Structure 1
Amino acid sequence: MSGSYRLILASASPARLQTLRRAGLDPEVMVSGVDEESVTAMRPVILAAILAERKAQVVNQQLAGHEPVIVIGCDSVLEFDGRAHGKPASPDEAIERWKAMRGRTGTLHTGHHVILRQRGVHQVTATGSTLVRFAKISDDEIEAYVATGEPLAVAGAFTIDGLGGAYISGLEGDPHNVVGLSLPLVRDLLTELGVAWHDLWADRD
């Protein structure tokens, strides 16, 4: 329980959960089961927002009748060469993607959709975007990294808070957004809904 609200994270991402916990919140996790591959959009930034909204909406429907509840849905995609990239489907795809990305830049978009169930249903959405500079790494480094399995589990085939952090040479924007959830952006969305961030801090003994 986070403060006086039941807080739900509509995502299976351990990194998102850890980000919220480190910020003093204690959400429950409910996985939406949305088929991400079936969703398309003209632009990667819009795709991230649509996926975040769908995840939050599915979980919200499962919570009908419960108040006060806050649902946070997120989804991340990497925009590279004008295309949206989620999780690689195979090690070979991850290797080829890294060979294309090394020494270049991409933009990590994370859609955020927040639903407040309190005297009705209120919701807002926004997308955070962070520029990512990929280091010039060798074929051996790429193959070793992909062999760990980490790139297969995350959008864009990289992390900044795990083994992949050594292969990212710089960021422009919120680093939390690259991990999968922008704390400042979520705070802004909650403020728009009339919820103070500090009211969501978990009860402490």
Structure 2
Amino acid sequence: MRIILASNSPRRREILSQLGVEYEVKPSDFDEREEESDPYKMAMLFAHNKARNIAKDIKDKALVIGADTIVYKDNIMGKPKDKDDAIAMLTELSASTHSVITGISVIKTPEMITITEYEETLVKFKKLSQDEIKAYVNSGEPIDKAGAYAIQGLGSLLIERIEGCYFNVVGLPVYKLSKILEKFGFKLLTI
């Protein structure tokens, strides 16, 4: 069965490739505008809308995967607008715990059978000095990342510990995805 990733995220592509999954990339052009204040509902809604945006045009049998990752601490933290915004986000995350919530939606075509769920991981940041924050922001890494950090890069130096799925923080909760795919009869680990 065809597997289609409705995302152009390099991190999501890398995770699927590491799992040995043969897949196609068809980036969704779903316009992410905040429609929901509940971070869990929003992550699932965006993931579903991304998958549906691609699945509606697929006429043969396929599993279309949509995902959306949200950083949440008192409010939803999107991608920083600029360096000052990144500094403000990292200052807020310093010495505290926040949630990373990824909505994941898989749609089986052409029937449009859908399973949408979410995964949550708690991330504890160490206390960051302003020099550390500025050095990290100047690296350029946080600019296109929700919450202004990337756990798989230099951002790993900011994190004291996590509770939950590491891959969820990267952007694609592997265990949750495998359980959803199994419900459609597709196993990631086969003999």
The TM-score normalised by the length of structure 1 is: 0.88
Query: How far has the Cα of 1:197 moved from its partner?
Result: 2.5
Query: How far has the Cα of 1:146 moved from its partner?
Result: 1.0
2: distance between equivalents of 1:135 and 1:10? 34
CA contact 2:77–2:89 (8 Å) conserved in 1: no
Gaps of 5+ in 2: none
1: distance between equivalents of 2:22 and 2:85? 36
2: distance between equivalents of 1:152 and 1:27? 28
1:27 counterpart residue number: 23
1:12 counterpart residue number: 8
* RMSD (CA atoms): 1.5
Between stretches 102-111 and 120-129, larger displacement belongs to: 120-129
2: distance between equivalents of 1:133 and 1:74? 23
The equivalences for 1:22-171 within 5 A come to: 22-36=18-32, 38-63=33-58, 65=59, 67-81=60-74, 83-117=75-109, 120-171=111-162
2: distance between equivalents of 1:9 and 1:43? 25
2: distance between equivalents of 1:179 and 1:106? 15
1: distance between equivalents of 2:81 and 2:64? 29
**Which secondary structure state, in structure 2, belongs to the residue aligned with residue 198 of structure 1?**
coil
Runs of 4+ in structure 1 over 6 Å off = none
CA contact 1:85–1:156 (8 Å) conserved in 2: yes
Gaps of 5+ in 1: none
Query: How far has the Cα of 1:39 moved from its partner?
Result: 3.1
Query: How far has the Cα of 1:190 moved from its partner?
Result: 1.2
Percent identity, please: 36
Number of aligned positions between the proteins: 191
Which residue identity is paired with 2:24? E
Query: How far has the Cα of 1:160 moved from its partner?
Result: 1.1
Query: How far has the Cα of 1:31 moved from its partner?
Result: 1.0
The TM-score normalised by the length of structure 2 is: 0.95
CA separation of 1:198 and 1:117: change in aligned 2, threshold 3 A: farther
